[in-house]
């Protein structure tokens, strides 16, 4: 089962599929995290916003929106809900008076610590089948992949991956021989 193949070398249907593996882990994590964060406005998304609000230096809503990949309008509602509970506050940005920094209150920082501890239990349960060294290596690899994926344009990069895979299947490079691994789709 660890190599993704049955006897005879035939691929298994799903256990070697990255999307399936990520989906199973994500659903298990999301279900447990939702339960652990049921008292926090916005659940896991609210936790991510609160994490950003606890971090130093404080950031404005636009920066948090970009980092979390959350639409600004949706983020506004999440921040409103957290502010209504007294967990975050909006403070004028000394560098730009039109902008507001999202900052955790003392109560918000305490709530974040409690939620973080609950999520550590969720993570320990999810990673429980791995020995400590493998769990650490898994987290490190996942962090690296997540950070790298965060910096890429997924549509451009995925198109490049598909074109490269098709070219390799055909046994040749791009038709014009140009390397487009970082430049996006061909210009027409």
Q: What percent of the chain has pLDDT over 70?
A: 74
Q: 83-98 pLDDT, tens per residue?
A: 999 999 999 999 888 8
Q: Is the pTM of this model over 0.85?
A: no
Q: Can you say how many angstroms the Cα of residue 100 is from the centroid of all Cα atoms in its chain? A: 24
Higher-confidence residue: 120 or 178?
Answer: 120
Average pLDDT over residues 126-130: 96
Domains observed in the chain? 18-151 (1.10.10.10), 153-188 (no CATH)
pLDDT band with cut points at 50, 70 and 90 for residue 116: very high
DSSP alpha helices (H): ranges in the chain? Answer: 18-36, 43-54, 61-68, 72-84, 106-126, 132-151, 154-170
Q: 47-83 pLDDT, tens per residue?
A: 999 999 999 999 999 999 988 888 999 999 999 999 9
Q: 5-64 pLDDT, tens per residue?
A: 555 555 567 778 889 999 999 999 999 999 999 999 999 999 999 999 999 999 999 999
115-124, 126-135, 146-155: lowest mean pLDDT where? Answer: 146-155
Cβ pair 79, 58 in contact under 8 A? no
**Is a pLDDT exceeding 60 seen at residue 167?**
yes
Q: What percent of the chain has pLDDT over 90?
A: 62
Token pair recorded at residue 169: 């299947």
pLDDT band with cut points at 50, 70 and 90 for residue 162: low
pLDDT band with cut points at 50, 70 and 90 for residue 163: low
Q: Can you say how many angstroms the Cα of residue 136 is from the centroid of all Cα atoms in its chain? A: 18
């Amino acid at each position: 089962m660890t190599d993704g193949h049955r006897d005879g070398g035939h691929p298994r249907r799903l256990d070697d599929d990255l999307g399936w593996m990520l989906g199973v882990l994500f659903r298990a994590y999301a279900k447990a995290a939702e339960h652990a964060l049921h008292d926090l406005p916005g659940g896991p998304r609210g936790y991510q916003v609160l994490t950003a609000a606890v971090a130093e230096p404080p950031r404005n809503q636009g920066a948090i929106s970009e980092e979390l990949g959350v639409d600004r309008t949706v983020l506004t509602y999440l921040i409103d809900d957290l502010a209504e509970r007294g967990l975050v506050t909006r403070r004028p940005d000394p560098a730009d008076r039109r902008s507001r920094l999202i900052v955790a209150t003392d109560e918000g920082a305490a709530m974040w610590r409690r939620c973080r501890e609950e999520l550590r239990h969720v993570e320990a349960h999810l990673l429980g089948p791995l020995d400590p060294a493998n769990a650490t290596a898994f987290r490190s690899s996942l962090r690296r992949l997540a950070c790298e994926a965060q910096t890429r344009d997924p549509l451009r990069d995925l198109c490049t991956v598909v074109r490269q895979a098709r070219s390799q299947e055909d046994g040749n490079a791009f038709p014009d021989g140009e390397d487009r691994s970082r430049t996006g789709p061909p210009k027409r």
